[in-house]
Structure formats: C-alpha cells, structure tokens
Structure 1
Amino acid sequence: MLGVMNLNRVTSLLLIIVIIGCGNDSSGDGQFAVADSAHNERTIVVDGLTSPRGLVITDDGRLLVAETGGGRLIEVAQDRTSRSLTEKRLPHSLNTGPDAAYRAGPSAISLLNDDIYFIVGEFRGSHSARMFRLGGESEFEPVTPATDPHASLRNRFSNPYDIVDAPEVNGWIISDPGGNSLVKVDIDGNIHDYVVFENFSIPDHEVPIEMVPTGISRGPDNAVYVGFLTGFPYPNGEAAVWRVEDLNNDGDAMDEGETELYATGFTTITDITFGPDGTMYVAEFSTNTKDVFSGGDFSVNSVAHPGRVLKWENGTTTVIASSAVSPTGLLATETTLYISEEYAGIVTELPLD
C-alpha cells in the first residue's frame, strides 16, 4: 500500500486508524443532539494498553481486545483481570508516526468455529496484510497468503482493518481502506474483491476524496454495513454508513442496487456496531483529525481533539459519549457499549438504556 496510496491517507490509516426508505434526519454537517449523559465519565474496563482497537465477546462473557500497538490479543475476564492470549508478540506491520513510534499489529478479531482469527494491516515483510488463526499460547498460522505490495490492488489485501463473519462467502468480509474496498476471504484463505467504492467530490476541494472504509458490522436485517473514514481533508459531515448485500447471490456486491447509502452526516468514522435491538452505534475518531496527525505526540493531540460516539436510531442521531479519545472499536451487548479509546490506551464501557 505504501507505494500506491496517497500520503495523506497513509498517515491516517497506518495509525488507526440514495438514502433508504427510512431516511436520515441529520443536517449533514455533523451537528447532532447531545444526550444528557454524554459528558458522564465512562468506566474503564482495562487500561495500560498500546493502541487497543477491535473488540469481540465470547459466549461465556470474556472480552477480547486487539491491541494493535502492543501486538497482542488481550482477554479480559468478567472480574476485570486481563492477560495476553499469546506468550510472544504477534505480527505487526510498519512502524509509523513521529519517530516511527507507533506500530500497527492486529486490528480486528473474529471468533469462528471455536477458533480465534485476527487480521494485521499494512506492510512489514511476509507477516503483514494477512489474516491469521491463533493456534495456542505460542502459535499462530497464516490463513491468507503473503501480500505482494507491488501487485495490483485487485483481489488482495492492502490494509485490512475490520472483519465480520460471513457464511454467505464461506468465511469473512473484511474492510480494506487501502483498496477502498470490501474483500471476501473464504475459509481456505482465498481473497477476492467483494465491492470497490468510488471516490467522491465536495465543493471547494478540487481533488476527489477517497471513501476509506473502516468499521464493518452485521446489521439486524443480516446485511453488511460499513462506515467510512473519508480521506484528506477529512471533511466534517461527509462520512457515511452504507448498506451492502449480495442480492443475486453471485458472490459479490458489485451489481446495481447491492450498495446503498444508509446514514449520513458523520465525520471520520472508525467503527460501527449494532445492539441486539437494532440500534446502530458509530465511532467518530476526532473533532479535528488533521490536527491529531499534524505531528508531535498523537496521544496528546487526541485528548485536545477528542472523538465521540453516536447512537443512530430511526434516522435520528444522538451523541452519547462526547469526549472519547480516538475511539476506534465498538461492541454492544444488551446492557453495555464497549469503546476502545486507542491513543488513551484504554477500553471503556457505557451503560445502555
């Protein structure tokens, strides 16, 4: 990816980083109602992490965290004790950011057939931009082949970011910001494009803006939903969530009508998730993403320009956490919303009504 991507998009992604019938009532400028509880302090579930990101929960209630900067998968028990699932560091990719101080390791986790799978993005040798299966406390094995960063972007990983189980493709659907695409990976590790998104334009900005798909989730109607970060200059209110479904069962979602705009008016989306009741939750990375990545200590910049977490329900968007520090992972249960706050090094929880 490094050889073919726009530099501005590299900076953001290495580090994190037709309305349907119901419509969307947002004004399109990112200004939403704020819940009375949005300023309340969230409870810390686990701290001391290095860039936590993707979250999943096991059937017995253990929370698993993809610690992308630490190169670990962290297990948090219900009593809040935590441990690494492996004895050694997992694969990671390019060191990035000021002074190459930030690493990009595992970014998302899947639980499938009693196995734990994880993805690593970017490029650093044969272990990067690949999907792996955890084989024990000291073992992991690749599921997908090594990525050639100089090959065409078609039918390969560029920067895999988030993952959703997908029995319709006998495996997974994965968001790939580097390719502006969703790719499908079958259980044998074969990779094929699922849908590729086109750039878009905004007034007073001559260069087309890339979509940059990030968080992906299964919706209550069993379709796949994906949020978009958007590329530089990360325009306020231009990020959106799209609905994706293979309607003709041909193995992809590239035909007319298989992708449609679902919710609009967001800014720099890094993850989405749905609660059991069908409510959608959206993580916005920052109020000023350009300044977060302008140089210096990103953790300090992220506190100065925090993100937020939103609830989207029946076309109405409400801010439910107004000062989340670089939120990049969400997970909703019936009672709780878990939030990875990447540059704060914590996972927090928010009670749901």
Structure 2
Amino acid sequence: MAIIALLLLIAASFACSSESSDDGDFAVAESAGEPGIVVADELTSPRGLALNHNGHLLIAETGGGRLLEVTPYRDVRSLTEKRLPHALNTGPDEAYRAGPSAINILDGELYFLVGEFRGNQSARLYRLSDEPEYEPVTPATDAFSPTTNRFSNPYDLVAAPEVDGWIVSDPGGNSLVKVDMDGNIRDYVVFENFNIPDHEPPVEMVPTGISRGPDGAVYVGTLTGYPYPRGEAVVWRVEDLNGDGDAMDEGEVTAFATGLTTITDITFGPDGTLYIAEFSSDTKTIFDGGDFGDNAIANPGRVIRWDENEPTVIVESVVSPTGLLVNESTLYISEEYAGIVTERPLK
C-alpha cells in the first residue's frame, strides 16, 4: 500500500519553535531542477531503500510485494521467488496498496517490514531465510492482540543495539516501538497530537522515516495528519538518556529540524549530513479528488539537505518521494507514484 493510504487513514483533524523558516521557504540549489537518472522503473510503489554487502541497491516494492536487488549493470532481480504479503486496491476507497515498506540488514541478515495492513496479520517484521524464503520475527497481530505486543501500521526501521533489536516507526499508533530479536514489541516513544489555528480537532504527529544519526541518537521524521499543515512537520531526535528502555522521559525527545512539511523519509550521509524527503508541495490538494497519481505529479515533492539549521532544497519536482538513500557520491530516491527509483550525484 502506498503512502497515499497512510495519508488517507490519518484523516484526523506540541507545537514547537522553528529553527528555520516556519513555512518551508528554503534556499534552492541551482541544480535542484535537474532530472535524475532512472535506476529501476515499471515498479509498483517502490519505497524503502538499502545497500547490501556488495554495495548493490535494494528496493522494497510495496505494491508489488517484492524485495529487489539492482546490480551495477542495472539488472533488477527479486530476492525471493514468491511474492511477499501485499495487496492492491484495498481499503474503503480501493485505493490502498499494502506490502513491504522498509528493508535493512543486521548482522549479515536481511530484514523487512510489511505494513499498512490495518488489523491484518501480515503487518509484521520478517527475516529472509533459506527454507522457507522468509519467516516472521514478530507475532501475527490483529485487533484482539494485546496492545503491548503488536504493530498498528509499521513503516520504517533502524537497527538498535540499545534495545537488542530494532526501533520501528508505527504511524498508525503515532509511536516508535522497540522490537527485540524474539519478536517482542513494546512502546519506545508515543507522540502527542498538536493544535494549529483555525482547525479542529488536534493534528496527529505521524512518525515515518527513521535513521541513526552521527551522534548515535535515533532521528525520525513526521508526516503530520490532516490537513497536512505546511511548516509543521518535524525531525525529532530521540535518545534513552537514563537507560530505562524507552525515550518517554523529559528531554529524551527534542526537535532537531522544524518548518518542514509532510516528511516521508530521512537519512544521513556518510559525512553526517541530514537529508529529508517532503512528500508534496500541497498534500491536501492531492486528496481533494481525482486520480492520486495525476495529483501527485501536479503537486510534486522535494528533497532538502539540512546543514546546521541552514536547509537547502537540492532536488525539486520529484513525484511522491518516499524513500531516500545516500552513499559517498550518490542520492537515491524512490518516487512512489511514478513507479521509479532515481539517482543523482551529490553536489
């Protein structure tokens, strides 16, 4: 299921001080409008990106139910013979796509998240294996599962030795959860709703992309719920300072980057620079009616480089960017509703 579903399902209508422009009017690099090079195309909702031990690009194809590897020769192959849990045209509007949304490697093993199945037992953390091709790490959950050991709508993950496993963003629960290697799920952070002028009810925070920062802390971007207010999305810095197994105490969650809009992913480059994907220039308009794909093209997103509170737009006019990856010289972007992954040289 695409990020569209996440946005629609969050139709819920701690303000923080901004360390940059409140309305997202950032400086724009001269090269921001240059087109990217297509690395993989004809995909169905590509999202999460990673690199394997060979340096090959890995793609979580949400709507296609596949984990893909891209070789240096641009050959694309599936890592499994069988399709992973996924669905097209689901939900009340038959507009949702569900499937693998994030991919990562820990101790040489490949893990992936399947999300967006609200109340469905496929919403789990999995590990690739020999026989069968993949196996669940977390238990099957549904509406009747204990709330202390279930996902709501897992989206992204980061390896977390501090919890002996993973920290996972769960936008359906407005939370980060910790998952140990035995599959136990517990709350790590729960985000509060916030108020904006002339709108009721409060807006949800909605955590999405998550990454490990150069200082060792976990960072997470927020989409924000309906009406997706401009300039209210935040990148939060999260750290368990007192070692009690969560980051719910005072001072453990702080705003790192503000003045942003509908963040779908974040990543850090090898030099510690933060990169942020904003889903659209006008997310609300995308859902006012008509075809989501056409609306996403008409209201594209962008990628921002955050240098010590001096944000710069380095890529413009990308269609629904939902996955970012940076190495020493290249920026990769999943353009979900364009069905492509593109690359651009870092400048």
Helix, strand or coil at the partner of 2:77: strand
Q: Is the 8 A contact 1:93 1:121 kept in 2?
A: no
**Alignment partner of 1:172 is 2:166:** yes
Work out whether 1:123 is the aligned partner of 2:117: yes
1:112 Cα deviation after fit: 1.1
Structure 2 partner of 1:260? 254
Q: Is 1:80 the equivalent of 2:77?
A: no
* RMSD, matched Cα: 2.4
How big is each residue's C-alpha offset from its partner over 1:73-113, in whole Å with a ceiling of 9 and x where there is no partner?
01001111111111111012574378625421000012112
Aligned position for 2:154 = 160
1:270 aligns with 2:264: yes
Q: Distance in 2 between matches of 1:178 and 1:195?
A: 13
Task: Report what 2:8 is aligned to.
Answer: 11
The whole-number CA distance in structure 1 between the counterparts of 2:41 and 2:24 is 30
In the other structure, the counterpart of 1:71 is 65
SS in 2 for 1:260: strand
Seen in structure 2, the aligned counterparts of structure 1 residues 51 and 98 have a Cα distance that, compared at 3 Å, is farther
Kindly state the Cα deviation for residue 123 of structure 1 after the two structures are TM-superposed: 2.5
More deviation, 156-165/295-304: 295-304
CA distance in 1, matches of 2:80, 2:164: 27
The amino acid of 1:189's aligned partner reads G
- TM-score, normalized by length of structure 1? 0.91
Give 2:50's match in structure 1, choosing from 46, 53, 56.
56
Change (3 A) 1:131 1:206: same
Aligned-pair identity (%): 69
> Which of 154, 162, 181 pairs up with 1:187?
181
- SS of structure 1 residue aligned to 2:47: strand
Matched letter for residue 258 of structure 1:
E
Q: Could you tell me how far 1:291 is from its partner in structure 2?
A: 2.1
- The one of 206, 224, 230 aligned to 1:236: 230
Shift of 1:139: 1.7
**Which runs of structure 1 show a deviation greater than 3 angstroms over 4 or more consecutive aligned residues?**
93-99, 124-127, 150-155
Output the CA distance in 2 between the equivalents of 1:99 and 1:230: 21
Q: Which amino acid aligns with 2:166?
A: W
Letter in 2 for 1:69: G
Superimposed CA distance per residue, residues 56-76 of structure 1 (whole angstroms, 9 cap, x where no aligned partner): 001211110000000000100
Contact 1:94 1:122 in 2 (8 A): no
Mapped to 2, the partners of 1:270 and 1:261 lie a distance apart of 17
Judged with a 3 Å threshold, the aligned counterparts in structure 2 of structure 1 residues 195 and 105 are, in CA distance, closer, same or farther, namely same
Distance 1:213 1:162, change over 3 A: same
Change (3 A) 1:94 1:210: farther
Amino acid at match of 2:59: V
Q: Unpaired segments of 5 or more residues in structure 1?
A: 1-7
One-letter amino acid matched to 2:301: G
Counterpart of 1:322 in 2: which secondary structure? strand
What one-letter code is carried by the residue in structure 2 that aligns with 1:44?
V
Q: Aligned letter for 2:341?
A: V
Residues 161 and 215 in structure 1, CA contact (< 8 A), matched pair in contact too: yes
Deviation at 1:153, TM superposition (A): 4.2
Q: Residue 154 and residue 209 in structure 1: after superposition, are their counterparts in 2 closer, same or farther (change >3 A)? A: farther
Show the counterpart of 1:111: 105
Distance across 1 between alignment mates of 2:334 and 2:197: 33
Q: How does 1:1-353 map to 2 (within 5 A)?
A: 11=8, 25-92=19-86, 95-96=89-90, 100-123=94-117, 127-136=121-130, 139-151=133-145, 153-353=147-347
CA distance in 2 between partners of 1:135 and 1:251 (Å): 29
Distance 1:266 1:248, change over 3 A: same
SS in 1 for 2:337: helix
Equivalents in 2 of 1:147, 1:69: separation in Å?
21
CA gap of 1:211–1:186, structure 2 versus 1, over 3 A, is same
Structure-2 change in CA distance of 1:169 and 1:94 (3 Å): farther
CA contact (8 A) 2:319 2:336 kept: yes
- Compute the TM-score of the two structures, normalised by the length of structure 2: 0.93
Return the offset for 1:13: 6.2
2:326 maps to amino acid:
A
Aligned residue pairs: how many?
A: 342
* Aligned-residue offset at 1:155: 4.0
- SS of equivalent residue, structure 1 residue 164: strand
